Chains A and B, each alone.
Chain A
Amino acid sequence: MTIAMPRRTVGWGRMRERPADAVPADAAAGAGFDAREAFAAHGGALLGFAVNALQDRPLAEDCVQETFLRAWRARASFDGARGSERTWLFAIARRVVIDVHRARARTPRLVPHDEHPEPIAETTDPLERLGMVEALARLSAPQREAIVAIHLHGVSYAEHAAATGVAVGTLRTRVFYALRALRGILDEVDTTDA
């Protein structure tokens, strides 16, 4: 299919356009994809996923850029009835990050000069870690902050309450529902990858 579009003299506005001959109107499930709005709404979470998955901000930014590029190209396949735009973008980002992670695993690595040069065996399945990082990235910011403080940094509820001004009971409940959401996201990721 040929998509007739003007040259790149138009920026975001053109990404919001749907060329008349690109996708039939009644099949244009992704016609409403607005890259700028999508980036504003989900760019932070996607970047958080990529940065924490790859631990390399420049590379993570490349991944986010690639995610939106692929999303733009595949916008006709997006069906809001089957899932949210956020879920769809994360599915794309997941594939991008996994591809990059695998490519990097085959690439000689740069390490800080004071780091031990011997290879260190990974005790965690890298894909398992990527799934968990994605799930954390998809939580709301308050939920993620609470889980990170309590279960990643080992801060006590009382300490975190003192630091944030949020009551201990509220923090505990927040973490419970964050863990429940995390499990749901992981189930979804596992199902998608199956």
Chain B
Amino acid sequence: MHDDTADRHAELVAAALAGDLTAAEEAELAALDAAHPDMVAERAEMEALVARLEGVDAWDDVQPSDELAARIADAEADGAPVPAPAAPAPVVSSVHDAGLGGAPAPATAAAPASLDARRRRRRLLLPLAAGAAACLAIGVGIGAAAFGERPVPVVQGPPGTLGAVEDVAFVDAPAGLAITGALVAHTWGTETVLTIDGLPTGEAFTVVVVGEDGTEYASGAMLGSDVTIDCRLNAAVLREDVAAVEIRAASGAEIAHADVVDV
């Protein structure tokens, strides 16, 4: 087929697949189909392909952040067979150490002594990472192990530093409820890390991030559990615009809140 003819045929096939042909174009496509039956077969395959596209209802165009590039640079260390640095405090250990009465602080994970150990830890991390933006209700024993495997913060800095973990204190919680939390500033919003004991089993609770102008940003929801709840939630508000984080009952009543420092 001549290139111009092939391109025209391709153009008309694409239009036909989208139901975008005029009557004149339909006639033109029929004539081209008659002369080039191979394109008819390809069009049939493309029709099936377009039908398969229905399984993807939207597309989010994203760009990698500098933070991700930095993380990958740091991950390079995992490929090196060297003793890990002296174990920094895992995120949740520091939260527990805030002494708010939650589950006993887990033993700090020992520094992996070898690459294999680091790899084992990494393998454990990935399924845990799968729970990001999800809440895990975990038994005390398992929970302690999981806390020890929490990703170690790779970024240090004052509140508002991208990727750095910032402990926050929840206050006004009812007796019997222990909440410890932290925030992580991201380019795309603010992540809240929560560990909660004592929420009534089966009841629903929401987490709301309150902006400095009073705007409320939904961050997620959870069910109370009789075991420790380990949550990571995200809100579409930049850390610099956050004034507080609130945990609320399904009725909307505030359960506890944490005011955060200005950044």
Contacts and interface: CB of A to CB of B under 8 A. Distances in A.
A11 B221 contact: no
A132 B53 contact: yes
A177 B122 CA distance: 40
Contacts of B58: 152-153
Interface string A46-66: 011001100111111110111
Interface string B186-227: 101001000000000000101000000000001011100000
Contacts of B64: 39, 43-44, 47, 64
A65 B75 contact: yes
Contacts of A57: 62, 188, 234
A36 B221 CA distance: 38
A165 interface: no
A8 B74 CA distance: 8
B64 to A, nearest CB: 4
Interface stretch (B6-14, B98-106, B164-172): B6-14
B72 A65 contact: yes
Contact of B136 (A48, A108, A129): A108
Contacts of A169: 11
Contacts of B49: 179, 182-183, 186
B179 interface: no
B46 A107 contact: no
B133 A150 contact: no
A8 B76 contact: yes
A14 interface: yes
A110 B218 contact: no
Interface string B34-77: 00000000100110011011111111111111001101111111
Interface in B143-173: none
B87 interface: no
Contact of A11 (B59, B76, B81): B76
A132 B49 CA distance: 9
Interface footprint category on A: 35 or more
Given A62-B126, A129-B55, A183-B46, A15 B76 contact: yes
A73 B79 contact: yes
Interface of B: 7, 10-15, 17-18, 20, 42, 45-46, 49-50, 52-65, 68-69, 71-82, 122, 126-127, 129-137, 186, 188, 191, 204, 206, 218, 220-222, 231-234, 250
29 contacts: A8-B77, A36-B73, A47-B62, A48-B60, A48-B62, A52-B59, A58-B133, A58-B234, A59-B132, A61-B65, A64-B68, A65-B68, A68-B75, A103-B130, A110-B220, A111-B220, A112-B221, A113-B204, A125-B55, A132-B56, A136-B59, A151-B18, A152-B58, A157-B15, A157-B20, A172-B20, A176-B10, A176-B13, A182-B49
Given A58-B186, A73-B79, A107-B131, 6 more contacts: A6-B82, A44-B64, A56-B132, A58-B191, A60-B62, A128-B52
